[in-house]
Homo-oligomer: A and B are copies of this chain.
Amino acid sequence: MASGPRIRNGRPTSKDVAQEAGVSQSTVSLVLGGKSAGRVSPATARAVQEAAERLGYRPNAAARNLRLGTTRTVLLVVPTLTAPFFGSVYIGAARVAARHGFGVVVYPPDDAGPDGGTAGGPAGSPFAAAHEAIDGIIASSMTREALRGFGPTPVVMLDSGPAAAAPTVDFAVEDGMRAVAAHLAALGHRRIGHVAVALDEWTFRARGEAVAAAVRALPGGRYDRAAGAIDVHSAREAAGRLLDLPVPPTALVCDDDLMAAGAYKAARARGLDIPRDLSVTGFDDVQVAVALEPELTTVRLPARELGAQGMSALLDLLEGGRPGPRSLPVELVVRASTAPPPPRV
């Protein structure tokens, strides 16, 4: 029955630290909260610090959150975690968050549902039950209506278009597609096919409209389109439909790097060499772009920056600001998958 620091549930509390240091709990809280300027003598402060260190004290997050009414945690909603792109978005957001003492939890609605589907959105999911403690939300593209049920929580939307009813951070995807079209046009291409993503999201609509307009504006320009899922096999089918047209395109613009991989396959299956017989472009510049052979000409989206700017806008919002819409520049990365079209026979 020796005294020793009494530890209840495995973790010491601020009261235990107080007892160990011979002060009151309030003093512990003041010192460890950094509010001890002029209120606590340096000697006492150090004693508290040492006691806390000795006991391995870590403040109880639940109690702190309850007291403060804030969690310093934001939720990042992404359509999936199996796409490396969204991992990068997370990194960008998490770094900015960490710099401000915030944490980021990530929630992929399509992935986490117990039945494998969208599972009714976050509101009804056990996830929400466990993580109601959230100060704000960063919602990535393709999840606009999945946010119902979160109530008045502050939200920033990523890559969802300037018309969204919340502060937004977008990529300048139209610029990217215009750059692709200009690049292909400069090489001499006129018949350009578009392997599009069959989702009704701003970012894909914008890509499609930009490339269609740019191609049609070319003298003799011809735009054809086939849509599919963000998936190698689906893209292969879509690209195949374009290549089997009576007058097939000499270049395929893809909405995603993974779809470009499908286009490669469709081309190879028809005996076409890239880039000699067919030029192909991607979008995103994820790792697969350089894994392909030949390496893919694509549009680099600054995914980390998207997350970082999203977090930064959300911090603005949480502090009562009204962050305006932001647009991030994108960059055409020319590699080996584009070349002049074959001479007409």
By a beta-carbon cutoff of 8 Å, the part of chain A in contact with chain B is: 9-11, 56, 58-63, 65-66, 69, 71-73, 80-84, 86-88, 90-91, 94-95, 97-99, 101-106, 108, 111-114, 116, 125-133, 151-152, 232-233, 258, 261-262, 264-265, 268, 287-288, 290-293
Contact = CB atoms under 8 A, between A and B. Distances in A.
Given A10-B152, A61-B130, A258 B291 contact: yes
Number of this chain's copies in the assembly equals: 2
B103 A106 contact: no
A101 B127 CA distance: 8
Contact of A87 (B82, B91, B101, B133): B82
7 contacts: A61-B132, A66-B66, A80-B87, A81-B91, A87-B111, A97-B126, A291-B292
Contacts of A133: 60-62, 65, 133
Nearest to A264: B293
Contact of A60 (B72, B86, B101, B132): B132
A180 to B, nearest CB: 20
A284 to B, nearest CB: 12
B111 A98 contact: no
A83 B84 contact: yes
